[in-house]
Amino acid sequence: MRRTAARERAMTGAAVYRGMDQATLDRQYSPSSRVPSLTAYLSEYARLSTAARRDHPVRTGLAYGTHPAELLDYFPSAAPGRPPLLVFVHGGNWQALGRAESAFPAPPLLAAGAAVAVVEYGLAPDVGLDAMAGMVRRAVDWLLRHADRLGFAPDRLHLCGTSAGAHLAAMALLPGPRHGPDVSRRIAGAVLLSGMYDLEPIRRSYVNEALRLDEAGARRNSPLHLLPARLPPVVAARGGNETEEYVRQHERMVTALRPRAAVTEVVAERRDHFSLPYELGVKGTELGDAVLAQMDLGGQMDLGGTTT
């Protein structure tokens, strides 16, 4: 059997990135290495998402594009008037999960008065990263074009992603001609949870066996290096229990964002990579209050502040 380059490097023990050998780098980009059971989290995501769709009105399987994966679920708000919308982009290392397991953040956000959209997108290896980024942009554009029919305020759309979804959400903040329409100036705020924003180490890790990024592709899809001068308000959050590389990626992105946007940084010490999204919209939590404040839904934090 032909060995991949990553496997060859793993066998030699040679340094492949920032002094790390292949096994160490791969572990750093495996957030499940910090939790007892990834399967338990995935099962809970599915269970809570099923409950969210059972207990709340929802329009499922709305097509925002022509690809079979270009679907979203929309949870309308019960609040009067035109509420804000939070668009949630799931994680899964660009290779796993979908709408079925990703509606779990909706209930507390709905209770606070927001509408919620849960976006599905194509996954690697069948879909490349450029195309995934374009899908998220198309989802945002479709939602904005249908805001009147769906019943939310188009000037109050907030884009949220976790892990790989945070990367794709950050890519949607970039202006200019890319895959998908330019929606960068129509996003009222962003929420980036435990994201990866420089993909060079990803390119050198086991994750790239599915993504198949070359050096140019990694650079083209690294929002850390492509941020415009001005951005909407951003909540940038991570769990206290993350690998050192995820911490470094978060810190570099926060540093890059601060001259460009009102940034609220959250370090939820009792959370890990997979449990952090449970706090979205939950009043009295660091992340929940930051997100609700950004959406003008009665959170307890001031934009531009920092909580750790």
pTM for this entry: 0.93
Domain that holds residue 157: 5-307
pLDDT for residue 4: 54
Residue 165 in tokens: 């979804």
Q: Is the pLDDT of residue 18 over 50?
A: yes
Say which amino acid occupies 197.
Y
Position 303 pLDDT exceeds 60: no
Q: Kindly report, residue by residue over 134-184, the tens digit of the pLDDT.
A: 999 999 999 999 999 999 999 999 999 999 999 999 999 999 877 889 999
The reported pLDDT for the residue numbered 50 is 98
pLDDT band at 304, cuts 50/70/90?
A: very low
Q: What is the pLDDT of residue 91?
A: 97
Segment 272-292 shows an average pLDDT of 97
The stretch 191-196 carries a mean pLDDT of 98
Predicted pLDDT of residue 12: 54
Region 204-213: mean pLDDT is: 97
Model confidence at 57: pLDDT above 80: yes
What is the mean predicted confidence (pLDDT) over 94-111?
A: 98
Confidence (pLDDT) at 179:
82
What is the count of structural domains for the chain? 1
pLDDT at 178: 76
Q: How much of the chain exceeds pLDDT 70, in percent?
A: 93
Q: Put residue 55 in one of left, alpha, beta given phi > 0 → left and psi -120 to 50 → alpha.
A: alpha
Residue 6: the pLDDT is 53
Residue 306 has pLDDT above 80, yes or no: no
Higher pLDDT, 8 or 150: 150
* Distance set, CA 94 to CA 17, 47, 130 (Å): 21, 21, 11
Instruction: State the greatest distance between any 2 C-alpha atoms of the chain, in Å, as a whole number.
Output: 62
Q: What is the mean pLDDT of residues 58-71?
A: 98
Mean pLDDT, range 222-233, rounded to an integer: 98
> What is the reported pLDDT for 177?
75
CATH number reported for the structural domain that contains residue 256 in this entry: 3.40.50.1820
How confident is the model at residue 298, as a pLDDT?
A: 77
